[in-house]
Amino acid sequence: MTLHRSLLPRAIVTLLSASSYYPTSSTFLVPRKHFSTTTAMAVNAKVIDSHLHIWATASESTSDYPYSSPDQTPPPNLQNVAFPSALLELMSKAGVDGTLIVQPINHKFDHSYVKNAIKTYPEKFKGMMLFDPSLSPKMAIDRLEELVLA
């Protein structure tokens, strides 16, 4: 299975517009300004955080998931707070059902940390990649297919 080029603009627009709306059924969306936790319970909707970053802990960054460069290392007070299980605990306390993870700059174009989190918790996390402008159009499509279809 491959992702056809013509789907890219539609996929990007869908991801961008999704951040302004919360789904309440498969047929319509409620604008965020009209949304509340009470509304979500009344219509049985899921509460989705539409923009969240995760990054490797200090120990993970020295092994499997290095930061892209020393200047991309989070401040010490944030280094060990944005890993998946910690965020799942916070999401649970806040009544958040799922989240769209936006690729953090800490890992630049290495999506392995986000990809692993999505694979580990597919019912809670979905992801958005960080586009590498240095790639040719063909390499960009190949990279997108690698991430989406893996």
Whether pLDDT at 7 is above 50: no
Q: Chain-wide mean pLDDT for the chain?
A: 79
- How do residues 107-131 score in pLDDT, each as one tens digit? 999 999 999 999 999 999 999 888 8
Rounded to the nearest angstrom, the gap between the alpha carbon of residue 64 and the centroid of all alpha carbons in its chain is 19
**Cβ 107 vs Cβ 73: under 8 Å:** no
For 143, residues 6+ apart whose C-beta sits below 8 A from its C-beta are: 132, 135
pLDDT tens column, 60-112: 999 999 999 999 999 999 999 999 999 999 999 999 999 999 999 999 999 99
pTM over 0.75: no
Task: Name the pLDDT band for 41 (thresholds 50, 70, 90).
Answer: low
pLDDT above 60 for 1: no
